[in-house]
């Protein structure tokens, strides 16, 4: 079978070299020899270990148009020309493997429909959580269950950064540069730190988990750009660590899904707290199966290439057997619901006047807006007090009303911080 590679960077160069190094094994596993016939890049003059120079071309459209390709592997990234090239490959009868979460979270429905119409496979395991087998388990192993919640750390770059900032006090800029050097970051790393990369992955996970089309535009997104060393230290003092979480869950009446990405405090005893460096971990909560955790390397050339090659073998096997895999169908058609319907716990830090009755007034505001307080800690300050209020689960809408009401109180000098808290026992 003839295989073309679109992209020969961090992931593409690993796919090319592992594919060529394992020729005999891949033939035995697929049923047929897999021959790499071309690699499209922008700059053909760059030396690329693992990619024979004679395979390089800067004419990606020409490569895809050959007409004799069995499988096209897209690891160039971005929306265009990746989308047009994949559509052209599909139209020419090739199956497609992609690692492109930005594309799948934006045009996934269009590409899936095109592959379905052409009768070819479209696989994208590497687009979420690097090496970790996650999309196939969701699509196949859990097809007999009802997923209720998906929660995890799905961006290696930011997890690497937060780990180094927490454990070594490293500076944000230094650790971002290191994550880029290690090949974890996107070509434009603002997608990592701004949360868009996690949001794209959350949309893909939600689409598969809830049998519903969810795009990146449906995902509430906050990244780690506002997380300071002071926030990390404050969390540490309370026994927490800050993680960038992606969460997709059914809303309370199960008519919709709320999908969100934001930093959250996680207790150091929570399993997610021990997910360090560029590792990812995703919990899936399903009605019959209960809770499952998927853990592994979430970024980097070789780990991602492992997932790409797994899809490549799966696509090759299907072609060998003249079949294809069942495509995910969005039959449930749940609504994407706004962040106000999300439910979680919070830590609210409030600068207040230190005089009798203040605590009661503050507590009343929480109660009046339907937010139940779990703990309160008061620390003295020069001209007042800092109240650290931790809540039980509340909706974002109720918490937001509470914060607005607190801001209007004469005894409140300022809201010093509002942080979401992921409690293991309160979801
Ligand atoms: P990368 O190192 O920037 O490589 C991109 C490759 O695509 C380069 O070889 C580049 O050519 C080529 N390319 C880009 N635009 C092109 C165009 N218009 N025509 C021809 N070639 C083009 O990126 P990467 O880290 O390998 O990531 C690739 C994809 O995998 C992205 O979708 C990314 O989100 C996804 N992914 C990456 C990781 C990871 O850990 N890195 C993990 C999971 C998924 P030049 O080399 O000539 O510039
Ligand atoms: N930039 C991404 C990350 C690559 O850091 O997780 C893996 O998708």
304 lines ligand 1 (CB under 6 A): yes
What is the CA(99)–ligand 1 centre distance, in A?
9
SS3 state of residue 286: strand
Residue 332 lies inside a defined structural domain of this protein: no
pLDDT at 173: 95
In this structure, the answer to whether residues 244 and 276 fall within a common structural domain is yes
Per-residue tokens: 296: 């592994």
In this structure, the answer to whether residues 112 and 152 fall within a common structural domain is no
DSSP secondary structure, 382-415, as one string = TTEEEEEEEE-SEEHHHHHHHHHHHHT-TTEEEE
Contact 358, 400 (CB under 8 A): no
Query: Residue whose CA is closest, atom 1 of ligand 2?
Result: 185
Residue 380 pLDDT class (50, 70, 90 cuts):
confident
pLDDT at 379: 85
> Strands 95-98 and 122-123: what pairing?
parallel
Its domain, for residue 250, covers: 143-296
Mean pLDDT on 265-282: 96
Nearest to 270 by CA among 379, 151, 172, 113: 151
pLDDT at 383: 74
In this structure, the answer to whether residues 147 and 291 fall within a common structural domain is yes
Q: What is the DSSP letter of 45?
A: T
Number of structural domains (the chain) is 3
What are the residues facing 260 on neighbouring strands?
A: 220, 247
299 lines ligand 2 (CB under 6 A): yes
Mutate to test the pocket of ligand 2, among 156, 177, 300 (most ligand atoms within 8 A of CB): 156
Residue 427 pLDDT class (50, 70, 90 cuts):
low
Residue 424 pLDDT class (50, 70, 90 cuts):
confident
Mean pLDDT on 327-346: 95
In this structure, the answer to whether residues 123 and 159 fall within a common structural domain is no
156 lines ligand 2 (CB under 6 A): yes
In this structure, the answer to whether residues 106 and 168 fall within a common structural domain is no
- Helical residues (DSSP H) of 22-100, grouped into ranges: 23-30, 60-64, 82-91
Mean pLDDT on 150-172: 97
Mean pLDDT on 137-154: 97
Query: For 181-231, how does the pLDDT look when each residue is reduced to its tens digit (9 = 90+)?
Result: 999 999 999 999 999 999 999 999 999 999 999 999 999 999 999 999 999
Q: Which of 134-138, 253-257, 295-299, 343-347 has the lowest mean pLDDT?
A: 253-257
Residue 366 is part of a domain; what is its CATH number?
3.30.70.260
First to last CA, the chain: 48
Nearest to 107 by CA among 83, 123, 91, 141: 83
Residue 333 lies inside a defined structural domain of this protein: no
In this structure, the answer to whether residues 285 and 394 fall within a common structural domain is no
């Amino acid at each position: 079978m003839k295989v073309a590679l679109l992209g020969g960077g961090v992931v593409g160069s690993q796919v090319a070299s592992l594919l060529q190094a394992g020729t005999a094994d891949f033939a035995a596993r697929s049923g047929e020899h897999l021959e790499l016939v071309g690699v499209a890049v922008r700059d053909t003059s760059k030396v690329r270990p693992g990619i024979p120079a004679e395979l390089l071309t800067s004419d990606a459209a020409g490569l895809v148009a050959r007409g004799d390709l069995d499988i096209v592997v897209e690891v160039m990234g971005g929306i265009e020309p990746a989308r047009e090239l994949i559509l052209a490959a599909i139209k020419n009868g090739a199956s497609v493997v992609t690692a492109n979460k930005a594309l799948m979270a934006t045009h996934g429905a269009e590409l899936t429909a095109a592959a379905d119409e052409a009768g070819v496979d479209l696989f994208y395991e590497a687009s979420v959580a690097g090496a970790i087998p996650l999309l196939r388990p969701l699509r196949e192993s859990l097809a007999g269950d009802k997923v209720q919640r998906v929660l995890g750390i799905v961006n290696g770059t930011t997890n690497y950064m937060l780990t180094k900032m927490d454990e070594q006090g490293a500076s944000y800029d230094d650790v971002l540069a290191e994550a880029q050097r290690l090949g974890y970051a996107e070509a434009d790393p603002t997608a990592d730190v701004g949360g868009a990369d996690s949001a794209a992955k959350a949309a893909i996970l939600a689409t598969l988990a809830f049998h519903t089309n969810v795009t990146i535009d449906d995902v509430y997104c906050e990244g780690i750009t506002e997380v300071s060393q002071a926030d990390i230290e404050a969390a540490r003092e309370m026994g927490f660590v800050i993680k960038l979480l992606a969460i997709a869950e059914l809303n309370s009446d199960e008519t919709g899904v709320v999908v969100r990405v934001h930093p959250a405090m996680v207790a150091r005893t929570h399993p997610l707290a021990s997910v360090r460096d560029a590792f990812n971990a995703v919990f899936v909560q399903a009605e019959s199966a209960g809770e499952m955790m998927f853990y592994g390397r979430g970024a980097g050339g070789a780990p991602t290439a492992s997932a790409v090659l797994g899809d490549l073998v799966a696509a090759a096997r299907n072609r060998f057997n003249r079949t294809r895999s069942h495509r995910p169908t969005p039959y449930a058609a749940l609504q994407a619901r706004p962040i106000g319907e999300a439910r979680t716990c919070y830590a609210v830090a409030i600068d207040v006047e230190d005089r009798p009755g203040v605590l009661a007034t503050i507590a009343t505001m929480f109660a009046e807006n339907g937010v139940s307080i779990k703990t309160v800690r008061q620390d003295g300050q020069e001209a007042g007090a800092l109240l650290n209020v931790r809540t039980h689960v509340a909706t974002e809408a109720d918490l937001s009303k509470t914060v607005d009401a607190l801001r209007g109180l004469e005894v409140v000098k300022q809201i010093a911080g509002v942080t979401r808290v992921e409690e293991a026992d309160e979801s």
